[in-house]
Structure 1
Amino acid sequence: MRTVYKFCIAAVLAMSASSCKKYLDLDVENPNREDESNFWNTGENALEGVNAIYGNFYRNGPSRWLPYYMDVRSDDGYSTSPWNELRSISGLNITNYNFEVQSDTWGHHWRGVYRANQVIANVPNIEMDAALRDRYVGEAKFLRAWYYYNLVTIWGNIPLILEPSQPNDKPSQVPQEQVWAQIEKDLTEAAAALPPSYTGEEIGRATRGAAYGLLGRAHLQQREWQAAADALAWLVTGPGATQYSLLPNYYDNFRHTTENNAESVFEIQFKQRPENSGEDAPTSNVGTSRAPFFAPPGHGFNDANMHRWVTREFLQERTVAGQRDPRLAVTALYDSTDERGPNFTSVYGFTFAEKNYDANTSNRVWYRKYLNDELRIREFEVFNGPKNFRSIRYADVLLMYAEALNNLGQTANAYPFVDRVRQRAGLAPLSAVRPGMNQAQFQQQLEHERITELTGESTRWNDLARWGYFDDPAKLAILQARDPEFANFQIGRNKYMPIPQSEIDINVNLTQNPNW
C-alpha cells in the first residue's frame, strides 16, 4: 500500500502558515508501515492476528448490544429507555434500521468475521511451529463460527464470506443452511486442532470443549438432535466430563474473582482499564460496557428491565431445605431480591426502600447478572466493567444435552443431567418429584429449567425460536400474555431483524428480510 504525504514548500522555507500557497503531492512508500503485504510473516504476526479477533469482543456490538437482541427482545425483558430506537429493539417495532445499535451489532460482528478470515487465509503460509500454527487457525475458525452463529440467528438471511474482504466486494446472501453447514465445518475442524485447556496467560482462549459446546448448540438450534447429542457428549460423557463440573456456588459464575472456572466452557475476557483510550491500541478499553445500560436508576440508564413473571418461575418450588431458590437473588434485582423485602434488599449499597423509587419504578425488576453492584457501592456503573461474559456454561451444556436426548425419545436417560443442575441449586431431583414424564411433559419442564438457570445470559431468544414460539400462533399467544410488546410480533417478519438499510443501499446484491 502507498501513503500520500503533502508537504507545504513555503513552510519548509520557514514562511508563515498563512502565506503557504502552493502544495506538492508526493506519492511515496512509507517503509515503516505494516500492511497486508508485509505483515503475515512470523509466528508473532500470527499471534497478533488471532488476538485481534478476540480484541473485537470489547466493541459495542458483541459486548453492549448483543444482550438486547438475545435477552431484552425476548419475552423475559422489555425496555424503558428514553432512546426511542433502542426501545424499538425490544418493542419489536423498529423503524430506523440504521441506528447505532443496529449498525454496531451488524458491523462489529462482520469485523470479527473479517479478522478471522485474515488469520485463516494467511497463517497456514507462515513458517513456524506447525502445532501452534494449527492451533491459531483453529481458534480463528471457532471465533468465526461464534460470530456467524449470532449473525444467522439475528438476521437469518446473510452472506457467507470466507476470504478476507476487499473494498469493492458486494457479497450476496446464501441459504441459511449453507451458513449453518460452514459453522459446523469450522467447529469440527477447530475441535480437532484446539487443546482441551490452557495455562497461565493463555487461559481464556478457545478450547476443544468450547468448540464442541458451540457445535452442539448449533446443531440443537437446527433441531438436529442426534448431531447435537454427539457433539455435547464430548463434554458430558466423553473426555471432557472430567474437565468440567458445576460450581457449588451458583453466584461464582458471575463474579470477576472466580472467572475461567470448572463450569466455564467459553468466556469472553474483559478487564477494567482506562476508558476512551482508542481502538486496537495496547491500552484500549478492553472492559465491557453492558452494565450501565442494564443498571437501575441512579446507577445506570435503566434501559433494560426484566418482566416480573420471571421471578415467579423461581418461586414455584422450594429447596429441599425449605428455602427459596438461591438463583433468584443472583438473577434479578428488585424489591424482593432479599426474601425479607425492600428494607433488606441491597441496591448498590442502599436498601431498596432507601432508594425511594417512584410508583412506576418500585415494581420493576432488573437483570442482575453482570451488574457490578457488589463493586460499585453507591456509585454509577462503569463503561469498562471487569466481568467476563460466560458465553457457554457447563450447566447450559447439561440442559442442552438433556433436550437432545428427550427429542431422541430417550426421556428417561435425560433426567440425570437436569437433576445435576437442579441439585446444585438445592432443589430435589426431577426423578424424585416428577418421575415418568413423557416427551412433551419433559420439554415443558426443560423450558422452566432454562428460565431459572439461564435468564439474562443471552440464550432466551434462540430458545424460543428453537421451540417454535415464533412460528405457531398458539405459542405466540403465550408470549403475548407474558410480554405486551409481543403484540407487535408478526409471524414471518419478527423472527429476524431487518438488515441495516445502509448496507442494502451500497450492495445491490443484498435483499431486505421479508416484510421489513
Structure 2
Amino acid sequence: MKYIKTYKIILLVTLLSTLVSCNDFLEVEDLDQYELTNLYQTEEDLTFALDFLYFSLPTANLEDNVFAIDSDQAYLLPYFWTDDATHRNINGAGFNGSDFVWSENTRALRSFYRYQDIADINFFLEALPGASFTTEANRARFGAEARFLRAWIYESMLFAYGDVPLLTNTIAPTEQPTRTPRQEIFDFVITELDEIDDLLPNSYNAENLGRITKGAALALKARTYLNAIGWVSDVNAMYAGAETACDEIINDIGVYALVPGIEGFKAQFTVESDLVSPETILARHCALETGTDREDNKLSRQIALRGSYANSGTGQRRAGYSSDFIEEVQTINGLFPKDDPSYDPTNPWINRDPRLGASAVLSGDIVPATSGLDDEYEFQPHPNIDPSRDNIETVNSPTGYLFRKYLDYTAVDMEDAETDLKIIRYSEVLLMYAEALAGQGRDAEALPYLDEVRDRVGMPKYADIGLPTVTRGTTGNQMIDAILLERRYEFAGEGPQRWFDIWRYKLADQVIKPVFGIPVSEAEPGDLVGEKYRASNNDSFERVWDDKYYLLPIFLPFLDANTNLTQNPNY
C-alpha cells in the first residue's frame, strides 16, 4: 500500500487537518466555511481518509518536522538521546536535544505530543458508523486500523510524557483538557489493542500489503507492557503481558521469520525488502512523488558521506555512532574487544559482529565517489590522514563513525531513496519475548530466542559460550543485560529501541556521558585506551544526566495555549 495522493485525498486531508483538529491546543480554524454533508458517506471516502491517517506513522528522517504542515514523528531522534549515537547539530536552534540541556523550550522534545493526529483519527472513527460499506467486516477492519494508529500515538506519549490528556472524541475549540493519569492512558492502550487484534488479519493480499495486521497490534502491545516496567508497581504483570503477546505472534500467527544470514539482515534496509520481507511487522512506506508532496526517505541523504556519491549534493552527514558503541560491539568470538586477545587495534573491523559493518560506515570503507557510482574512494575521517573530505574536525560526522542502514547508493538521486522505514521487525519480537521470560526468572526459556537473533548473523550462541558480563549500564540481571546488549547490536541506527531500554531500566546515570569519536592515533583506528576525538571537538557534548529527563517536558507553547495543562516535575 503506497500512499498515492489524488484530488480526493487532498480534499480529505485538508478537511481532517482543519475541521476537527484541536491543533495541539494552539490555533483553531473557523469551522463554518466547510460543508460536511457530502463527505465520509461511502467506503471509498473512508478508504482515502484511512490512507491519510497512516501518515501519523514516523518517516525515515533525522529531523523533527514539527513546523511542517504534515509533521512527522521524528522516530530516530531519540536515538541521539542515548549512549550509542549523537547528532552533529547537537542542539542547533533547539532542534535535537542531544546535548541534554533540556527545557520546556527545546523543540525536539515536543515530537511525541501529537494531538493533531489524534483529532484526525477521532473524527474518522466518529464518521465511520454512518458511511455505507460493502461488508461490515471491512467497516470493522477500518476502525481497527485507525484505533491502532491512535493507540500507537498514545503509547508514545505515555512513555515520553507520562500523564497526557486522553481524548477519544472530537472536542470543541474552546475546550482545554487536563492531563489524564499515566495508568489510565496505559489501560486505554492495552484495552484498545485487546479489542482490535481479532479484527485485523494476519496478512493481506498484494494490493493491501503494508496495512496494519494482527501481528502489529500484538507487537505494539508487547512494547507497551515492557516500556511500562520503569514506572508501574506490578512489574511481573508487565512481563507476563508481553510474554502472552509475543507468544501469539511467534507460535500462533506463523507468518514471520528472520531472513537468514548477514545478507538477510542487510536486506531489511533496502528497497528489495519492502512489503515482502517476512521480518517486517510494521513499516512506514515510502512512495516517491514529485514536487512538495514527495514522500521520500530523507534519511539516506542526511547520512550520506560528504565525499561520496550523492547526486543532490554532498550529503549532510549529521549522525555519528559514539566510540562507546563501536568499542562494545563484540568480536566474532562473542567477546568484547577489550577482552579478546585476538583483537587487533590496527585492523579493528575484521572478525567483529557482522552487524557492525552492516550498520556503520567505518574508516577505510570503500564507497562510491562524488564523480559517480562507477568510481570509488576510501572513507577516512581522521584529519591527519585525509583533511579534505570526511575530516571529523570539519562540518561533518560528529564522531567519524557514520550510519549505514538505509544509505542507498542505488538511487539515481539521494532525494529518490525510497526504502520503507522498518518500525517493528520480527527480531524485536524475539528479543521482547526473551526479555519477558527473563524478567520472570525463566532464563532457560529465554535463551533460545536471544540466540536465534545472534545465530542468524553468525554470532556464537550464548548457550555455547556463556552470557557476557556487562559492566556499563547493567540492570543487575545478567540475562536481561545480554538481551539489551543484543538490542543495541540489532537495532543500531534504525529506531528508538535504545532509548526505550535506557529509560525503562533507569540506566541513564550509568551510560549518559560525554560523547567521543575516533581515536587520535593514526596507526590504530581501533585504539581502545588512547585519547579520542571529542565529538565535533565541541564542549556541548559534555552531557550531564538529570533524573527529571525520564519524562520529557511539555513544550511551553502547549502550556501557554491550554492553561489546564501542568508541566512535568522540575522543569
Which TM-score tier does this pair reach, normalised by the shorter chain? 0.7 to 0.9
Amino acid of the structure 1 residue aligned with 2:211: R
Find the residue that maps to 1:89 and give its secondary structure.
coil
Matching residue within 81, 84, 87 for 1:76: 84
Deviates more, 1:423-432 or 1:156-165: 156-165
The 1-side partners of 2:467 and 2:92 are apart by: 48
Tell me if structure 1 keeps the 8 A contact 2:112–2:160.
Answer: no
Matching residue within 101, 124, 136 for 2:142: 136
Deviates more, 1:156-165 or 1:76-85: 76-85
* 1:290-301 alignment runs, 5 A limit: 290-297=299-306, 299-301=314-316
Matching residue within 260, 272, 281 for 1:265: 281
The 1-side partners of 2:354 and 2:288 are apart by: 28
Gaps of 5+ in 1: 1-28, 277-283, 336-340, 471-475
The 2-side partners of 1:454 and 1:137 are apart by: 31
Structure-1 residue corresponding to 2:184 = 178
Give 1:82 shift.
Answer: 7.5
Structure-2 residue corresponding to 1:387 = 419
Structure-2 residue corresponding to 1:426 = 458
Structure-2 residue corresponding to 1:188 = 194
The 2-side partners of 1:431 and 1:143 are apart by: 39
Structure-2 residue corresponding to 1:312 = 327
Give 1:266 shift.
Answer: 0.7
Structure-2 residue corresponding to 1:356 = 389
Give 1:450 shift.
Answer: 0.8
* 1:74-473 alignment runs, 5 A limit: 74-81=82-89, 84-86=92-94, 89-95=97-103, 97=105, 99=107, 101-102=108-109, 105-106=111-112, 109-128=114-133, 129-223=135-229, 224-237=238-251, 239-240=252-253, 242-248=254-260, 249-260=264-275, 261-276=277-292, 284-297=293-306, 299-318=314-333, 323-335=351-363, 341-342=364-365, 344=366, 349-353=376-380, 356-360=389-393, 364-375=400-411, 381-382=414-415, 385-434=417-466, 440-458=477-495, 459-470=497-508
Structure-1 residue corresponding to 2:544 = 488
Structure-1 residue corresponding to 2:534 = none
Give 1:369 shift.
Answer: 1.7
The 2-side partners of 1:319 and 1:173 are apart by: 47
Amino acid of the structure 2 residue aligned with 1:465: W
Q: 1:98 to 1:411 in 2, by over 3 A?
A: closer
Give 1:213 shift.
Answer: 0.6
Q: 1:87 to 1:127 in 2, by over 3 A?
A: closer
Find the residue that maps to 2:424 and give its secondary structure.
strand
Q: 1:250 to 1:436 in 2, by over 3 A?
A: closer
The 2-side partners of 1:220 and 1:82 are apart by: 29
Q: 1:209 to 1:179 in 2, by over 3 A?
A: same
Tell me if structure 1 keeps the 8 A contact 2:447–2:462.
Answer: yes
Q: 1:486 to 1:263 in 2, by over 3 A?
A: farther
Residue-pair matches, total: 456
Q: 1:295 to 1:498 in 2, by over 3 A?
A: farther
Give 1:314 shift.
Answer: 2.5
Gaps of 5+ in 2: 1-31, 60-64, 230-237, 308-313, 336-349, 371-375, 381-385, 470-474, 517-539
Give 1:478 shift.
Answer: 3.3
The 1-side partners of 2:130 and 2:282 are apart by: 28
Give 1:486 shift.
Answer: 7.1
Find the residue that maps to 1:232 and give its secondary structure.
helix
Give 1:150 shift.
Answer: 1.7
- Deviation string 1:179-231 (CA, Å, 9 cap, x unpaired) is 11111112112212101101122100000000001101101111310011001
- Deviation string 1:310-337 (CA, Å, 9 cap, x unpaired) is 12233433489x94322112211231xx
The 2-side partners of 1:399 and 1:423 are apart by: 13
The 1-side partners of 2:239 and 2:100 are apart by: 30
Tell me if structure 1 keeps the 8 A contact 2:161–2:554.
Answer: yes
Tell me if structure 1 keeps the 8 A contact 2:559–2:566.
Answer: yes
Structure-2 residue corresponding to 1:514 = 569
Find the residue that maps to 1:209 and give its secondary structure.
helix
Structure-2 residue corresponding to 1:50 = 50
Tell me if structure 2 keeps the 8 A contact 1:58–1:270.
Answer: no
- Deviation string 1:418-446 (CA, Å, 9 cap, x unpaired) is 11100111012111111799982112211
The 1-side partners of 2:246 and 2:406 are apart by: 26
Give 1:255 shift.
Answer: 0.4
Tell me if structure 2 keeps the 8 A contact 1:313–1:448.
Answer: no
Q: 1:130 to 1:385 in 2, by over 3 A?
A: same
The 2-side partners of 1:212 and 1:199 are apart by: 20
Structure-2 residue corresponding to 1:12 = none
Q: Could you say which structure has the larger radius of gyration?
A: 1
Identity %: 24
Tell me if structure 1 keeps the 8 A contact 2:56–2:149.
Answer: no
Find the residue that maps to 1:480 and give its secondary structure.
coil
TM-score, normalised relative to structure 2: 0.73
Structure-2 residue corresponding to 1:26 = none
Give 1:96 shift.
Answer: 6.6
TM-score, normalised relative to structure 1: 0.81
